[in-house]
């Protein structure tokens, strides 16, 4: 969805989002409460949408807040959604809430990540788990990079291709769909694109039936831990930073995994 020139007009951006959501002009018009003729005129540039219409269409299309700002800017209006750094004083209450969630998640490893999978906060269980399975990692605190690196989690993951393909595809899709990427987004996106040929070559045939969850099987020496992940997001956020936060918690898949995880966290 990266566009330039006339293709970066609000009409072209709205059309791209409508196509990405799999909606026809008629369906979107009905859901947004406008005529399909008016929507067609907006998409083709024959009509300029009001600020309220841009926001209504963005809400109907479930456009992320970051991209709603891009739509407003393309339409000639000021952006209205702010992006407040998580370490800003205004985020003190949010950080306290996240710290509470992280503490309450013990002994399950839990991470707070952004849309690039940069690790912003962790609990002690997550720090110990990463330290055990990736003791040589000295790179940036980013989950995708840790999975791709031989100094990171890659050697410890029995099902490396399955887990990494899932994370790379999800992160790449989100970044690639954003017309307002910054330099950090672009740098990671290029790394993910470069990694995809190797992931495809390593895919092979499935070795087990499809599961309801993507498992993570981690091994170091004789220690094997089967984990699965849950993702929590913050409800009804009006700040870009908050909307893009994910709270990822790893749970042991069975009793053996719980015992192994407990031993790791105990340092034995």
Quick one: pLDDT at residue 202? 79
DSSP E strand stretches across the chain = 110-113, 119-122, 215-220, 223-232, 246-252
pLDDT-flagged residues of the chain (< 50): 1-6
Q: Which residue is listed with tokens 């393909």? A: 165
pLDDT at 267: 82
Per-residue pLDDT at 180: 79
User: Tell me, what's the pLDDT at 46?
Assistant: 94
The SS3 assignment for 223 reads strand
Q: Write down the pLDDT at residue 210.
A: 53
Q: Give the separation between CA 156 and CA 131, rounded to whole angstroms.
A: 12
What is the pTM (predicted TM-score) of this model?
A: 0.84
Q: Using CA atoms, how far apart are residues 108 and 250, in angstroms rounded to an integer?
A: 6
- Provide the pLDDT for residue 2: 46
Q: Residue 142: which of 197, 84, 187 has the closest Cα? A: 187
pLDDT in tens, 201-219: 877 655 555 555 678 999 9
pLDDT at residue 236, rounded to an integer = 85
Number of CB atoms found within 10 A of residue 232's CB: 14
Whether 152 and 134 have beta carbons less than 8 Å apart is answered as yes
Backbone angles phi, psi at 120, to 5 degrees: -100, -35
How large is the C-alpha radius of gyration of the chain? 21
- Owner of token pair 């947004």: 32
Q: What is the pLDDT of residue 22?
A: 95
CA distance 74 to 68: 10
CA distance 207 to 105: 32
Question: Does residue 13 contact residue 3 with C-beta atoms inside 8 Å?
Answer: yes
Give the CA angle between residues 178, 41, 30 to the nearest 5°.
80
- Identify the burial level of 176 via C-beta atoms within 10 angstroms of its C-beta, where 0-12 means exposed, 13-18 middle and 19 or more buried: middle
């Amino acid at each position: 969805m990266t566009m330039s020139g006339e293709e970066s007009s609000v009409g072209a951006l709205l059309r791209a989002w409508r196509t990405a959501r799999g909606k026809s002009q008629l369906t979107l018009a009905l859901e947004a409460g406008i005529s399909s003729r008016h929507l067609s005129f907006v998409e083709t540039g024959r009509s300029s949408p009001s600020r309220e219409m841009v926001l209504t269409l963005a809400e109907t299309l479930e456009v992320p807040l970051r991209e709603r700002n891009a739509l407003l800017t393309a339409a000639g209006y000021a952006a209205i959604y702010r992006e407040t750094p998580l370490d800003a004083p205004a985020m003190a209450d949010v950080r306290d809430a996240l710290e509470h969630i992280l503490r309450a998640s013990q002994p399950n490893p839990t991470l707070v990540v952004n849309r690039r999978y940069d690790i912003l906060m962790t609990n002690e269980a997550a720090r110990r788990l990463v330290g055990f399975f990736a003791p040589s990692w000295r790179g940036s605190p980013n989950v995708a990079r840790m999975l791709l690196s031989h100094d990171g989690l890659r050697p410890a993951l029995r099902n490396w291709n399955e887990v990494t393909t899932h994370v790379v595809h999800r992160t790449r899709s989100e970044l690639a769909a954003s017309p307002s990427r910054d330099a950090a987004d672009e740098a990671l996106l290029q790394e993910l694109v470069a990694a995809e040929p190797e992931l495809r070559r390593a895919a092979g045939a499935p070795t087990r039936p499809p599961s309801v969850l993507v498992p993570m099987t981690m091994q170091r020496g004789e220690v094997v831990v089967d984990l699965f992940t849950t993702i929590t997001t913050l409800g009804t956020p009006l700040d870009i930073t908050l909307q893009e936060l994910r709270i990822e918690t790893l749970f042991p898949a069975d009793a053996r995994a719980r015992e192994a995880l407990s031993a790791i966290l105990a340092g034995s």
